[in-house]
Amino acid sequence: MKKIKIYSVLSNSDNETTTVEALADYDKKEKIIKYVEEDLKVEIKIQNNRILMNRKNDEYDLNLIFELNEKIKCKYQVNSIGLTLDIVVYTKKLEIEDNRIYINYEMYNDNKIIGIFEYKLLLME
């Protein structure tokens, strides 16, 4: 793995935005990017037309799968109260380029929308 500079922006439908500029571990062959966002470990695996994302800290472990125009059941583990939620991720837009990832998605729990999100990741090798 080599170190690269990344810039990420995660925003939600409540206009809350998290921006991160950091050094990330990047395995170009395996297409895995790992970085830390405040107290959160983020791991992104790039597959053919699909992104696997894990966002994890002491409080929770969120596994997301993004595939264009697909509704995919994912797991949200809330460690502090020992709860596992099944959430559904619907990917409205997915762009995977050499140095850029863009995802626009909705998350649902019990068929109720819990948020609309936009995630951008720039790799600055």
Domain limits, the chain: 2-106
Whether 95 and 101 have beta carbons less than 8 Å apart is answered as yes
From residue 68, alpha-carbon distances to 58, 71, 95 in Å are 30, 9, 9
pLDDT of 1 above 90: no
Architecture of domain 2-106: Beta Barrel (2.40)
pTM equals 0.93
pLDDT of 125 above 80: no
**Rounded percentage of the chain residues whose pLDDT exceeds 90:** 91
Q: What is the pLDDT of residues 57-83, one digit of tens each?
A: 999 999 999 999 999 999 999 998 999
CA angle 24, 28, 51 (to 5 degrees): 80
